[in-house]
Chain A
Amino acid sequence: MSAADKTPAQPERKKPADVKTRPHGPIVPSANVQGSALLAVIAIMSFLACLTLGGVSMVRATAASWQSQISREITIQIKPDDNLDMDKALNDARNIASSFVGVTGASIMDKQATSRLLEPWLGASLNIDELPVPRLVIVTIDESAPPDFAALRDALAKKIPQASLDDHRTWVNRLVSMARTTVAIGTGVLVLVFSAMVLTVIFATRGALSGNRHIVEVLHFVGAEASFVANEFQKHFLIISLKGSGAGSALAAIFFLLASWWQSRSLATPASDQATALFGTFSVGWLGYVGIALTMILIAGLTTLTARLTVMRTIYEIDQIRSDPARSDGLNT
């Protein structure tokens, strides 16, 4: 009642505005067992999604670093031959390589370095002069503007037939394909995680609608439109998904922080070296954390959208079945 409608005949009546009421509660009750279970599922899915994302980005970074290291060097190998003056051949090979554009340096691997290289197989007391051991020239190249490998190979073949050029292309190709495979597997896992989550949310939404069917009915007969009902359920699921994905993503971020901290604390220990060799460094960088935040937002958005579409569809189905006497059970006549 507005102030204008109040009459002097009722002065004792307390002003309605003076009556205290609590802020409007949510139409869909926020706490129930189903909601807690869904929150846990979304948290686990988010954790797995973020872990996959971080893992993929780590492997990609490691593969890129390996690829870059390998791409910066090429090797000229000269096989021993009775008619070959090895020292002259090594010098010639170094000079030929140095003359090419794109080569930043060339050095001959000396006898000590070569014997160290062979030490694991032939032992420490190796006299390299007694064995026909191939010798190497290490050529460093400009990664961004590499030399013409085919021309270098031809030039070497003309001057030193026993020389062969290894540009590590095979290794680089293998690493590139490994990195691509890892990314593809990671993307596949992410798609599976998201699909499982969407399906879980569909089941949960249908379950929530079924459990709160009386609310849908009441809203229906007080004249609520389907979009209003969908908004109410959407709000409910947005809160659950934000909580769940926030918890899962935070756990993943903490996991990466702890792993990175452990690795930095245990530098140069065998365990850390092994982990670094396998996975690279555990640091995902600020971009990784942005990725985790984006994953959280994506999961919350996906959950909310799925809930909305499921509610709209389910309400439509309920309406269809309810209004069609051929499909109704006819229990309440």
Chain B
Amino acid sequence: MLRKTGWPGAVRRSLKHPCGAPSGNVDREPQSAVIHFENVGLRYGLGPEILRDITFDIPASSFQFLTGPSGAGKTTLLKLLFLSLKPTRGLIRMFDRDIASIPREDLPMLRRRIGIVFQDFQLLDHLTTYENVSLPLRVRGKEEHTYRSDVIELLKWVGLGQRINVLPPVLSGGEKQRAAIARALMDRPEILLADEPTGNVDPPMARRLLGLFRELNRQGTAVLIATHDFALMDQVDARRMILSEGRLEIYS
């Protein structure tokens, strides 16, 4: 169960990002675009274009849904957003940098400013919930004593306070999803991307998770949720980005 306490200190504090970029409402330019796509197209090999002339902005502190039929290219678009795939054509700017000109070694630093939640959670089965959630800080070379209390607090906040030392195979779908969300939030990302975050949970849990995302957004993080779940989208008055046959339409 999610606790009805406030946002944990780990996320609440408006600290400067390790890369020097703003993190949180206080330092952020109002409504500046975190991500900008312009005429982006993508094809795999010699196949047809999966994405065509995609143009949109994701403003800071914004909340939007990405939807569309299966095979419309949602996962591919998320991969582009997460710098995991290069576009075949077009311009992508992230945090005011053209990604085509970013050296490969700088990509991890940029990825650290983005949190991602996968539909299949992508938790490491041999690590406990605590270890999985603290992974983003561990890979940054931080000492455990500097983040231990923050991780435990965040786990309690997402309702996993009793599952700290449990391995993922023992967790339920909803618990895995919350662990994956906690991991994505751990290092205070400027944007959170979530791929079907409610796909494996029942409607009450889906509502709770949505509440979690809205709370996060209220704290200043831009949120993009890829989903098929219209009932979920109807609960929030947010921008809808609809992908269909490789083209994107945006309804504010």
Contacts and interface: CB of A to CB of B under 8 A. Distances in A.
Nearest to A20: B165
Contact of B84 (A15, A214, A323): A323
Contact of B43 (A24, A225, A323, A325): A325
A20 B44 CA distance: 48
B133 to A, nearest CB: 10
A5 B105 CA distance: 36
B136 A17 contact: no
A16 interface: yes
Contacts of B109: 223
Contacts of B148: 16-17, 21
Contact of B76 (A223, A324, A326, A333): A333
A127 B71 CA distance: 109
Contacts of A10: 5
Closest 7 pairs (CB-CB, A-B):
A330-B44, A16-B152, A223-B112, A224-B139, A16-B149, A1-B9, A5-B9
Query: Could you say which of A13, A319, A333 has the most chain B C-beta atoms within 10 Å of its C-beta?
Result: A333
Nearest to B118: A221
A18 B88 CA distance: 51
Given A225-B105, A333-B73, A1 B124 contact: no
Interface in A20-70: 20-22, 24-25, 27, 29
Nearest to A29: B126
Given A1-B8, A2-B149, A332-B79, 10 more contacts: A5-B13, A17-B152, A25-B126, A217-B122, A218-B122, A220-B111, A222-B183, A228-B139, A319-B104, A328-B85
B140 interface: yes
Contacts of A169: none
Contact of B127 (A17, A25, A214): A25
Given A1-B149, A221-B111, A223-B140, A21 B128 contact: yes
B153 A333 contact: no
Contact of B116 (A221, A228, A324, A329): A221
Contact of A2 (B9, B43, B104, B139): B9
Interface string B80-124: 001011111000000000000000110011011000100000111
B9 A27 contact: no
A327 B44 CA distance: 7
A15 B156 CA distance: 11
B226 interface: no
A216 B82 CA distance: 16
A186 to B, nearest CB: 43
Query: Could you say which of A22, A214, A223 has the most chain B C-beta atoms within 10 Å of its C-beta?
Result: A223
A19 interface: yes
